[in-house]
């Protein structure tokens, strides 16, 4: 379990401070994460990696010459927010373009993709490679649905080396894509981990058993079997990975980098025992081993488990894999003499936002928005724990914390906007950004989309009748579908959102008032959310932490229904 | 717990194979451990480190240019044997002398010291620095009684850098001694570890509690207190370490290297949270932080715990600390271009031993020795588990395994010698070496001394009367006292050995037969061994893993009594 912390709410922030204090020559804190302190003489493509915290040395331990320029650091097991990605990337932009790379999870995809759009909107060329190496998270014909685990390292390393060598963004992207396509991992777990301040493990594996393919946040695996010997585990690793050789390569004579990764409390001696057999088996299969790595590269606190990754080399990948690098957790060879220029720490950007003009009617509506958001924040704060418990059935357990943090920030930001004279629309869009920024993760990204769509529809001038709201909800549904890719029946927030939006629209079409339509819609959302308990999570839906087990409703759907209920007009103005 | 293993008896061996397979460019297996694969153009002082296994990256992870030339690798938590130390050191000797360095534990001191004598006997200049950084293991005025923990790294690093820089042995030793004198550590533990194949943890800490000063093998600490916050732990670390500034230095303005070490399952994020506060506190105290290290440097499998080490620098220590190094687990800067010459793996030396001539009477006595050793091996194999359980009360739990392994090897070697025509004396001395080599640890070293003393006294020609045996036992007692330094009442094997020897001698002086004297002596040993349960381990006896708790007898004394009993003449010849 995680034992050393102060206020669990401060954990990530204090962890980043300590990391930078431990590597003052290497790292500098920037808004949203950490960046390389030294600046090279020649500008190069910036490689920006990141994801949720709790996986050190992924991601911040891999920042340095020959590797990443910066790491965006989300809360524990939660994707960083759009703003975090955007501001970290901006802080290391050198004018040669940016490669964003991260593990292929729903929240990360949502937030990094949106940040990429914003960077492009500022004229910064930006590409994305989401690492997808976990062979058990989706079938071989759905590679883009696979999760990223310890294979992250190969993609980051090759991309970082290509950037350091002066390659342009096209080339860095091409090599990262190729590395991702030639990296395969499989993992096993023997126990879960307990997050800072939590009473119970996020997930667990029965004593004496091994879960095959269990994800690094506890995402369901393939099977649970009795604990094997070290040799038998090595045999399982090698057999499964050799059953999926990329590009139909003949494995004989091919050079591969094996990476045997410990998840946290499986220790070096054990890994070496397993690796002895892995090494022999790969050699027997005719492969040539290059530069093996045995240690901790992608952890989940003290989770007990291990993974084996194979990077199938060709000449150019091998050259880049073997190039020098100097990061806190991965060092090899001699990087060029350290630069004399250093980057300064960057404080969070607190530039004041221009509030557009608004009609007085809309400014009155803004107070209703605030009342609704206050009610949401109260309800989510009250229910954070139970939502987290729902999420931990098979997800990463942070849904409650994220929703609480996001809604509180949204209510605060909304009040600030309204006090600055904002109309209802701007109040909602301001709240949307604040929610996303404070929460990160999938829910932060999706609630940003919902509130922003509604804010666009509502605007700052016109009266807000039932039709305007219905159109806003329809737009939100559309935007969520576009962002998340989930469909109805996938056991996500969409299962409650769609009935809410369709019921509201139908009621309005038949002449109902906003309040009446909202009541009916909230009831529909609530029923639908409860019904998600009967859904089986979509097999192989790798782009989510939360493949929630049968019998338990989806926490995203439940929280949407809760929000629909507490925002039913007329919302009581909080005293 | 340790989950990944095959036959637990093969664990260390397979671990070493895997380690070398993971670092084929860096390491080569030599008899007794691992050595650097690359050979420098210029000969330099060889730095040989080592100790029990289970603490990776201590010790084998620190072998490489700028660090150690080789690591002697004992069994889990057990000192390597004399032969192991000797042969590893021989294999890396470059003619400029050898520095042996290891943590200050009884078994290591015994085995490394004896190996040093053998190396010197071959004309190889050899010095020893036993690292003693753990401030809780003995008071400040008994520095040489302190145990070595994560502060190992500072001594090895400075010595390795000095050797790489071409310093002579005097200078390397001087710097290592100085570094040891300026290194202070304190550790805390939250849980114990379970060794490969064991049913239960070797030791434990009550849930929610923290043991202050608990050793890396479970040696008793100072106190057990409720689990503090990360900040409170940082404050405890800094307060205690600043209360013992070496050499009466004024800490203000002094440059220190802080090393925050995780024992195994306390993970990086937690260490960074603690380090953030450690860093602030040290800076507030006026210290200048140089090159902090936060990670895993000396582990105990998945034990949960942490330690803080401070190395108090001066200019020459800082220069050597910051010099380049390239080992599996510790890399910094760029070492000189890798040498073209490489070392070949060294197989265990199987040169046949010359067996000296013997009288036919003595060759008949040799069969009695074998029968006795067979009886010992049988008894220890049968009781290995209960002896291990006794040992785990507060020791490292390997006493039973070590005694079983050692006695089996001794019986085997004795048979080989006798079949080659050896007399009783040579059969005993051959068995002595085999025992030590197979067992390692404290018990291996002491039983070697006992059997060898007896063999010397018995010789290969003369009849073995009661007086010869009595003189042999007296010599054994003397030799054990000289080797181990333990006195009667210290709760060690000495507590049973002394009554055995004295009773035997007294009985013989009054005219008793060997059989009668042996019976009386064995009874005295047995009573004395049982009585060790009432002894309190000597406070601060840092040179031992096994400060066995009150109420439980000492396993070394118990096994001596058991051996005395089963070897009582006439020993039944095993069929």
Q: Give residue A63's Cα distance to chain centre.
A: 18
Q: Is there a contact between B19 and A272 if contact means CB atoms under 8 Å apart? A: yes
Tokens of B312: 């108090």
Q: In CATH, what is the architecture of A8-332?
A: 3-Layer(aba) Sandwich (3.40)
- When the pLDDT of each residue in chain B is averaged and rounded to a whole number, the result is 91
Please tell me the predicted confidence (pLDDT) of residue A572.
Answer: 64
Place of tokens 């940040």: A115
Nearest CB among B6, B227, B272 relative to A229 is that of B6
Task: Classify B286 as helix, strand or coil.
Answer: coil
On the question of pLDDT at B541 being above 60, the answer is no
Please tell me the predicted confidence (pLDDT) of residue B549.
Answer: 56
Task: Say if A518 is an interface residue toward chain B (CB within 8 Å).
Answer: no
Nearest CB among B190, B294, B299 relative to A3 is that of B190
Q: How far apart are CA B509 and CA B507, in angstroms?
A: 5
Label residue B347 by pLDDT band (50, 70, 90).
low
Please tell me the predicted confidence (pLDDT) of residue B338.
Answer: 55
**What ranges do the domains of chain A cover?**
8-332, 360-566
Chains A, B: CB contacts within 8 A come to 179
Nearest CB among A14, A264, A293 relative to B276 is that of A14
Are B100 and B80 a contacting pair, CB within 8 Å? no
Please tell me the predicted confidence (pLDDT) of residue A35.
Answer: 97
Q: Which residues of A touch B6 (CB under 8 A)?
A: 229-231, 273
Q: Closest by alpha carbon to A401, among A1, A8, A4?
A: A8
Are B91 and B28 a contacting pair, CB within 8 Å? no
pLDDT by residue (tens digit) across B299-327? 999 899 999 999 999 999 999 999 999 99
Q: Closest by alpha carbon to A14, among B296, B285, B270, B264?
A: B270
When pLDDT is averaged across residues B436-457 and rounded to a whole number, the result is: 93
Tokens of A465: 């009748």
How far off is chain A from B57, nearest CA to CA, in Å? 8
pLDDT by residue (tens digit) across A282-331? 999 999 999 999 999 999 998 999 999 999 999 999 999 999 999 999 99
Please tell me the predicted confidence (pLDDT) of residue B197.
Answer: 84
Please tell me the predicted confidence (pLDDT) of residue B201.
Answer: 84
What string of DSSP letters covers B15-53? Answer: HHHHHHHH-TTTEEEETTEEEESB--SS--PEEEEEEEE
Q: Closest by alpha carbon to B491, among B445, B446, B448, B551?
A: B551
Which residues of A belong to the active site?
Answer: 217
How far off is chain B from A241, nearest CA to CA, in Å? 19
Task: Say if B4 is an interface residue toward chain A (CB within 8 Å).
Answer: yes
Please tell me the predicted confidence (pLDDT) of residue A343.
Answer: 81
When pLDDT is averaged across residues B233-260 and rounded to a whole number, the result is: 92
Q: Give residue B499's Cα distance to chain centre.
A: 27
Please tell me the predicted confidence (pLDDT) of residue A545.
Answer: 37
What string of DSSP letters covers B469-537? Answer: HHHHHHHHHHHHHHHH---TTSSSTHHHHHHHHHHHHHHHHTT--HHHHHHHHHHHHHHHHHHGGGPPP
Q: Would the CATH topology of A8-332 be identical to that of A360-566?
A: no
How far off is chain A from B333, nearest CA to CA, in Å? 6
Nearest CB among A6, A54, A302 relative to B230 is that of A6
Task: Say if B271 is an interface residue toward chain A (CB within 8 Å).
Answer: yes
Label residue B348 by pLDDT band (50, 70, 90).
low
Are A372 and A428 a contacting pair, CB within 8 Å? no
pLDDT by residue (tens digit) across A489-512? 888 899 999 999 999 999 999 999
Kindly give the confidence (pLDDT) of every residue in chain A, 575 residues in length, as a single tens digit, with 9 standing for 90 and above. 889 999 988 999 999 999 999 999 999 999 999 999 998 889 999 999 999 999 999 999 999 999 999 999 999 999 999 999 999 999 999 999 999 999 999 899 999 999 999 999 999 999 999 999 999 999 888 888 899 999 999 999 999 999 999 999 999 999 999 999 999 999 999 998 888 888 788 888 999 999 999 888 888 788 899 999 999 999 999 999 999 998 878 888 899 999 999 999 999 999 999 999 999 999 999 999 999 999 999 999 989 999 999 999 999 999 999 999 999 999 998 876 655 677 877 665 555 668 899 999 999 999 999 999 999 999 999 998 888 777 766 566 678 888 999 999 999 999 999 999 999 999 999 999 999 999 888 899 999 999 999 999 999 999 999 999 999 999 999 999 988 778 888 888 999 999 999 999 999 999 999 999 999 999 999 999 999 988 876 644 433 334 445 678 888 999 999 999 999 988 765 44
How far off is chain A from B342, nearest CA to CA, in Å? 17
Helix, strand, coil shares, percent, chain B, to 5: 45, 15, 40
Q: How far apart are CA A518 and CA A565, in angstroms?
A: 8
Are B118 and B433 a contacting pair, CB within 8 Å? no
On the question of pLDDT at B497 being above 60, the answer is yes
CATH superfamily, with its number, for domain B8-325: Dihydroxyacetone kinase; domain 1 (3.40.50.10440)
Q: Closest by alpha carbon to B54, among A549, A39, A270, A318?
A: A270
On the question of pLDDT at B484 being above 80, the answer is no
Task: Say if B364 is an interface residue toward chain A (CB within 8 Å).
Answer: no
Please tell me the predicted confidence (pLDDT) of residue A337.
Answer: 62
Instruction: List A residues 131-190 in contact with B (Cβ-Cβ < 8 A).
Output: 190
Q: Which residues of A touch B53 (CB under 8 A)?
A: 269
Are A72 and A375 a contacting pair, CB within 8 Å? no
Instruction: List B residues 302-321 in contact with A (Cβ-Cβ < 8 A).
Output: 302, 304, 306
How far off is chain B from A345, nearest CA to CA, in Å? 16
On the question of pLDDT at B118 being above 90, the answer is yes
A191: phi then psi, degrees, rounded to nearest 5? -160, 160
When pLDDT is averaged across residues B548-560 and rounded to a whole number, the result is: 82
Fold classified for B360-566: 1.25.40
Q: How far apart are CA A323 and CA B424, in angstroms?
A: 62
Task: Say if A2 is an interface residue toward chain B (CB within 8 Å).
Answer: yes
Tokens of A481: 């579908």
Q: Is there a contact between B4 and A233 if contact means CB atoms under 8 Å apart? A: yes
Residue of chain A with shortest Cα separation from B54: A269
pLDDT by residue (tens digit) across B392-407? 665 666 788 889 999 9
The DSSP bridge pattern shows strands A255-262 and B209-212 to be unpaired
Q: Is there a contact between A304 and B302 if contact means CB atoms under 8 Å apart? A: yes
Nearest CB among B54, B272, B332 relative to A269 is that of B54
Strands (DSSP E) contained in A54-176 are 70-76, 98-103, 126-131
Which residues of B belong to the active site?
Answer: 217
When pLDDT is averaged across residues B253-257 and rounded to a whole number, the result is: 94
């Amino acid at each position: 379990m995680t034992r050393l912390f102060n206020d669990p709410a401060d954990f990530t922030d204090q962890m980043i401070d300590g990391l930078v204090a431990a590597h003052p020559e290497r790292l500098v804190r920037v808004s949203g994460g950490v960046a390389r302190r030294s600046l090279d003489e020649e500008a190069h493509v910036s490689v920006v990696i990141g994801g949720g915290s709790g996986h050190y040395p992924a991601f911040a331990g891999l920042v340095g010459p020959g590797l990443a320029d910066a790491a965006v650091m989300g809360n524990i097991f939660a994707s960083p927010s759009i703003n975090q990605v955007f501001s970290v990337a901006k802080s290391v932009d050198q004018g040669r373009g940016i490669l964003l790379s991260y593990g292929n999870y729903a929240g990360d995809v949502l937030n990094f993709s949106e940040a990429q759009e914003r960077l492009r909107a500022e004229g910064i060329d930006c590409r994305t490679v989401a690492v997808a190496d976990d062979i058990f998270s989706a079938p071989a014909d759905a590679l883009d649905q696979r999760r990223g685990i310890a294979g992250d390292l190969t993609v980051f390393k090759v991309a970082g080396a290509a950037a350091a060598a002066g390659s342009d963004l096209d080339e860095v992207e091409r090599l990262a894509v190729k590395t991702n396509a030639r990296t395969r991992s499989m993992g096993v777990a023997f126990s879960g981990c307990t997050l800072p301040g939590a009473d119970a493990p996020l997930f667990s594996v029965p004593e004496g058993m091994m879960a095959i393919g269990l994800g690094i946040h506890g995402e369901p695996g393939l099977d649970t079997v009795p604990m094997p010997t070290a040799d038998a585990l090595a045999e399982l690793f090698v057999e499964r990975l050799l059953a999926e050789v990329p590009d139909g390569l003949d494995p004989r004579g091919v050079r591969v980098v094996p990476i045997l990764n410990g998840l946290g409390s499986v220790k070096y001696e054990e890994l070496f025992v397993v690796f002895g057999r892995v090494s022999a088996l790969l050699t027997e299969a005719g492969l040539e081993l290059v530069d093996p790595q045995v240690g901790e590269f992608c952890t989940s606190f003290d989770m007990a488990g291990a993974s084996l990754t194979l990077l199938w080399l060709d000449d150019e990948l091998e050259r880049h894999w073997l190039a020098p690098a100097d990061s806190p957790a991965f060092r090899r060879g001699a990087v060029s003499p350290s630069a004399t220029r250093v980057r300064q720490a960057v404080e969070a950007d607190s530039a004041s936002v221009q509030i557009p003009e608004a009609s007085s009617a809309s400014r009155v509506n803004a107070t209703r928005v605030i009342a609704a958001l206050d009610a949401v924040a109260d309800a989510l704060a009250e229910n954070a724990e139970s939502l987290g418990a729902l999420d931990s059935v098979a997800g990463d357990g942070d849904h409650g914390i994220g929703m609480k943090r996001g809604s509180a920030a949204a209510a605060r930001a909304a009040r600030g906007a309204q006090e600055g004279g904002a109309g209802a629309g701007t109040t909602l869009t301001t709240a949307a950004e604040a929610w996303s920024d404070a929460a990160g993760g999938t829910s932060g990204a999706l609630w940003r989309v919902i509130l922003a769509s509604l804010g666009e529809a509502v605007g700052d001038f016109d009266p807000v009748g039932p039709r305007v709201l219905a159109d806003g909800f329809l737009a939100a549904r559309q935007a969520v579908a576009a962002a998340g890719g989930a469909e109805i029946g996938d056991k996500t927030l969409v299962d409650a959102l769609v009935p809410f939006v369709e019921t509201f629209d139908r009621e309005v079409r038949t002449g109902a008032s906003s309040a009446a339509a909202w009541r009916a819609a909230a009831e529909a959302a609530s029923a639908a959310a409860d019904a998600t308990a009967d859904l089986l999570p979509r097999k192989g839906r790798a782009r989510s932490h939360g493949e929630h087990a049968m019998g338990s409703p989806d926490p995203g759907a439940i929280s949407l229904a809760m929000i629909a209920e507490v925002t039913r007009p007329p919302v009581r103005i909080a005293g």
